[in-house]
Amino acid sequence: MPAFSDRRRFLSVCSSLGLSSTLLPGVLWAMGQDKPALTPELLDSACKMAGLELDEAQRKLMIQSLNDQLTASKELRALNLPNAVAPAFSFDPVLPGVTTWDTAKRPIKVSPPRAPRVGQDFEALAFTSVRDLAELVRTRKVSSVAVTELCLARLERLDTKLHCVITLTKDRALAQAKEADREIAAGKYRGLLHGIPWGAKDLLSVKGFPTTWGAGGFEQQRFEEDATVVQRLDAAGAVLVAKLTLGALAMGDKWFGGMTRNPWKLDEGSSGSSAGAAAAVAAGCLPFSVGSETYGSIVSPSTRCGTTGLRPTFGRVPRTGAMALSWTMDKLGPIARTVEDTALVLAAIQGPDGRDRTVREVPFNWDASVPLSSIRVGYLKADFEKDRPEKPFDAATLEKLKALGVKLVPVALPDVNVGAMLPLLSAEAAAAFDALTHNGRDKLLTGQGEHDWPNFFRVAQLLPAVDYINANRARVLAMEGMARTFADVDVIVAPTEDPQVLITNLTGHPTVVVPNGFRENGTPVSVSFLGRLFGEAKMLAVARAYQEATDFHLRQPKL
């Protein structure tokens, strides 16, 4: 980065970055390489922005200490820390002494099979759920190879419209599918994902293929180990057919190859950052995919594309082998057609791997037959009453739940300013891609505007460490508030909007979104079901009951 030799130039840069007067400029970053490293004039400017007043003795002490700190900063940067190296600390969303989840592990209980008949229109299977497709494959009415070839063909044909694929893993997929058919024929059935095709958001490493993170400058990046989630789905017998698009470095739907499209409205983006993961499933190209969420990256594209998206509890699914954006907020989760499909995938990928230190050993006891009467359900009353375009759809959702016998208890989100905690995300993301900012390769990223990563990364370089720590302290207040919100309920129904999306990402609570209607222009909308920490089973049970009573998830875009 260039050095700033005078106060005027330094303040000009701060102003161009849109810095608030309450932010302490990153003096060490600003000074760059020139000597003397820090002048009294520049220190005075920085301290004024931080609201500090110094006498001469204090100023001299600070200048010496900051120059020493600059040396340490240069030495840290010289380590060239790879993205995979996590900080020495880890976030735990569970408050001290709080255990609200089931500690006994039991076999999952799935719904009865209802596999459709395979007729002459084989392509109709493109929109079959994982649960139903699994029965066809298990009973050998359909081969894994045939289903895999169907998915590959649809991806190749429809990607010209959707731009949802970065890399097809064709040879790997066909080899896996042939092996699945051989094992199933020999009576070695691994479970409901055996022989089922899927796609991975291209921030999950897969040996032998590029892992591009959707970003310019990373198109040829490769890793020599499969991500834990990939390993677990391989072990379950699932068939990886494609690495799917994501907005550059997990933001939005614009990647180095263009913009991923919404299958329901091709002149509109699919949203992101799990852009291809949602679009491919919605378009009938894949039965399921695995995406990631830090702040809305499963929820938002699932809403836009009309899929069912599950963001699990923070600490449920190991992120080993996934691109790190925010070590205290990143989560991996499935996108599929139905709620039960996401449960089947979660059962396969959850649990500790001995490498991601945030992951707890907590059973996931999925039971498709659990009675709704055994689950206490709340709803965000004030949020549902707000005037907004989606209000009629959400009101109809509440009426449908009441018709199913659900007794809705009014609850409210904690009254905390979660927006003030967003520096947590930007600071961690800037640290994860610090080298990109300092070596100038951020210029290769697609977006270069005010709300794109290059600018966010630079602004975060001026974020005080004190603010980062205080934002984490404020996060505890949000966690305590959410504990009170869930005190008397197991599941909460909520509109799919902020502040709900942000606060649940900060506190680590799970969410599943399902389509709950279509606008006049034919695009879908969604409703959210929130769960207690590690309470996915009950959350998914309520969401599934609603979904089974509607047909929104069965509709297909006309491509």
Catalytic residues: 201, 273, 297
**DSSP code at position 373:** G
Select from 517, 532, 424 the least CA-distant residue to 468.
424
Select from 526, 455, 484 the least CA-distant residue to 296.
526
Can you tell me whether residue 45 is helix, strand or coil?
helix
Task: Quote the strand ranges of 363-482, DSSP E.
Answer: 377-380, 408-411
- What does the block give as tokens for 446? 């697609």
Contact present, 510 and 538 (Cβ < 8 Å): no
| C-alpha distances in Å from residue 180, one per residue of 65, 132, 224, 268, 500 | 63, 17, 24, 37, 41
Select from 309, 185, 272, 190 the least CA-distant residue to 239.
190
Select from 233, 438, 254, 471 the least CA-distant residue to 332.
233
The residues near 240 (Cβ < 8 Å, ≥ 6 apart) are 169, 172, 173, 176, 197, 198, 199, 200, 206, 230, 233, 234
Contact present, 364 and 537 (Cβ < 8 Å): yes
Select from 512, 527, 491, 264 the least CA-distant residue to 393.
527
The residues near 111 (Cβ < 8 Å, ≥ 6 apart) are 131, 340, 368, 369
Burial 516-538 (b: 16+ CB within 10 A, else e): bbeeeeebbbbbbbbbbbbbbbb
Can you tell me whether residue 243 is helix, strand or coil?
strand
| Spatial separation of the C-alpha atoms in residues 383 and 556, rounded to whole Å | 30
